[in-house]
Copies of this chain bind each other. A is one copy, B any other.
């Protein structure tokens, strides 16, 4: 049934309150507001209630009770998603935030067992305390929660070396659509005992089950790190430099981010305390970092030598290598503050796309003029994980244009950018997911056979369509 056709929820909510505590069943608008307001302001959620279960068993109780009553649910972690996947539009919201225990850290197995509501930064800290590294790093790490990271298969700045969120998972615990719990909390590096069920829930945005806990892979903590900020002539040179650094440093190359001048200048203009890293201004910049868990070789010397050769080859125009932790932190801010800084420049139409790594320059050569032709004065702000072929192709509004009018052009720019991406055999959703923002785009571009398979999975795991309905896939077919 549609949310608006739901019968009175009073008996259901009373039963749930009895189990999880009345204090954790929110129905007052003021109490619910933080869960229904989405940071970018693209969506205003609506929910008859926000439920805050405190354990896997309580989540299972809530889901089963809602399933029996035919009431649809939207699960939510830290409410930081960028595509509206965490927003209810009339459904009951189930917050995982109270499931925030770190159950175990094992530095011999290099694993950590966490509940879905753990804030990502707390996962980092617990790993560090055990002398390990959990390498998922994204801008929202101070408030996003690991369950949401896994459900959306988050990416970030360390994917180049460590993979996406889904690559960092050994085990999962999931509440299924009917309230049963699947306990897949193995901490095994190898397991071919039947179908691997984890991928059903990693990156499927809570539409096939609700992740309540996970066993994460840990890595050795870096013993040394060297960070460089470089000016490059163009994206093709950045790719040549990527190849060079990988050849020299192998897996020690852990970050390689490309940025256009507009984004860097925007950070320098709006973000207090940031410092211009190079004397001159250039069109394109790269943030590169080497790190390794050993001191058996000198990464600083390796970086200097590689950059010297790259400058001789014309791949690099100017470079600075951080001489201190504080300098490194400043260089990182030029990349990490980019989304925040962009807010000061008015509306931003964002695309999170990927193409084969080798085709990033071609993508930019085609997409930039196409967008500028569509709206003179547009200020493109492309940046991102060039080593993954993933560009955040953001477009800041022309100076003086009305923000709402600009945001109204979103679909038009979608068509321009996503047509090019699709022609280049790329993806319209590299690391932010589909949610509601890109659902129609997915339906527009996806192979019909692939869409049919996705709908079959949805029907097999959530036949009543009660889990995060209308996200990723349209209701019905």
A residues near B (Cβ < 8 Å) are 106, 108-111, 152-153, 155, 159, 164, 166-167, 176, 180-184, 186-200, 202-204, 208, 220, 239, 243, 246-252, 292-294, 296-297, 302, 305, 354-358, 385, 387-390, 425-434, 438, 442, 445-447, 449-451, 453-454, 456-457, 459-461, 472-473
Contact with A472, one of B188, B195, B208 (Cβ below 8 angstroms): B195
Contacts of A388 in B (CB 8 A): 189-190
Nearest CB in chain B to that of A472: its residue: B194
| Closest beta carbon of chain B to A40's beta carbon, Å | 18
B454 touches A197 (CB 8 A): yes
A256 CB, nearest partner CB in chain B, Å: 12
Q: In the assembly, what is the distance between CA of A354 and CA of B190, in Å? A: 7
Least distance between A222 CB and chain B CB atoms (Å):
9
Contact A190 B453 (CB under 8 A): no
What residue of chain B has the Cβ atom nearest to residue A240's Cβ?
B108
| A477 CB → nearest B CB, Å | 14
- Chain B residues near A249: list those with CB within 8 A: 294, 296
Pair B220/A189 contact, Cβ less than 8 Å: no
Q: Are A194 and B356 in contact (CB under 8 A)?
A: no
A160 to chain B, nearest CB (A): 8
How far is A459 from B460 in the complex, measured between Cα atoms in Å? 8
Residues of B within 8 A of A438 (CB): 193
Which residues on B sit within 8 Å (CB–CB) of A354?
Answer: 188-191
Given A193-B442, A460-B457, A182–B428 Cβ distance below 8 Å? Answer: no
Choose from B190, B243, B427, B432 the contact partner of A431 (Cβ within 8 Å): B190
Chain B CB within 10 Å, residue with most, of A186, A189, A297 = A189
Known: A109-B357, A199-B199, A449-B182. Is A427-B460 also a contact (CB below 8 A)? Answer: no
A135 to chain B, nearest CB (A): 13
Closest Cβ of chain B: how far from A39's Cβ, in Å?
A: 19
What B residues does A187 contact at CB under 8 A? 356, 425
Q: Which residues of B contact A430 (CB under 8 A)?
A: 188, 190-192
A355 and B427 contacting across the interface, CB-CB below 8 Å? no
Given contacts A297-B297, A460-B460, 6 further A-B contacts (CB under 8 A): A189-B388, A191-B430, A192-B434, A194-B472, A220-B250, A250-B293
Asked whether, in the complex, the Cβ of B190 is within 8 Å of the Cβ of A446, the reply is no
Bound-state CA distance A475–B450 (Å) is 26
- Which of A354, A355, A356: most chain B Cβ within 10 A? A356
Q: Is the CB of A176 within 8 A of B390?
A: no
Supply 12 A–B pairs (Cβ within 8 Å), ascending by A: A109-B356, A110-B357, A111-B356, A164-B190, A183-B449, A184-B447, A188-B426, A193-B428, A195-B203, A199-B199, A296-B305, A456-B461
On whether the beta carbons of A193 and B460 are closer than 8 Å, the reply is no
| Candidates B182, B302, B389, B450; contact of A190 at CB < 8 Å | B389
* Least distance between A138 CB and chain B CB atoms (Å): 13
Residue of B nearest to A434 (CB): B194
Closest 3 CB pairs of A and B: A297-B297, A199-B199, A460-B460
Residues of chain B lying within 8 A (CB to CB) of residue A294:
247-250
* Closest partner residue, chain B, to A166 (CB atom): B196
Cα distance, A99 to B204, chains bound together (Å): 33
Q: Are B296 and A197 in contact (CB under 8 A)?
A: no
CA of A451 to CA of B286 in the docked complex: distance in angstroms?
Answer: 48
Structural contact, A390 and B190, CB atoms closer than 8 A: yes
Contact pick for A247, options B208, B220, B385, CB 8 Å: B220
Q: Are B447 and A183 in contact (CB under 8 A)?
A: yes
Task: From known contacts A193-B434, A220-B246, A251-B251, infer whether A186 and B427 are also in contact, taking CB-CB under 8 Å.
Answer: yes
Residues of B within 8 A of A194 (CB): 429, 434, 442, 446, 450-451, 454, 472-473
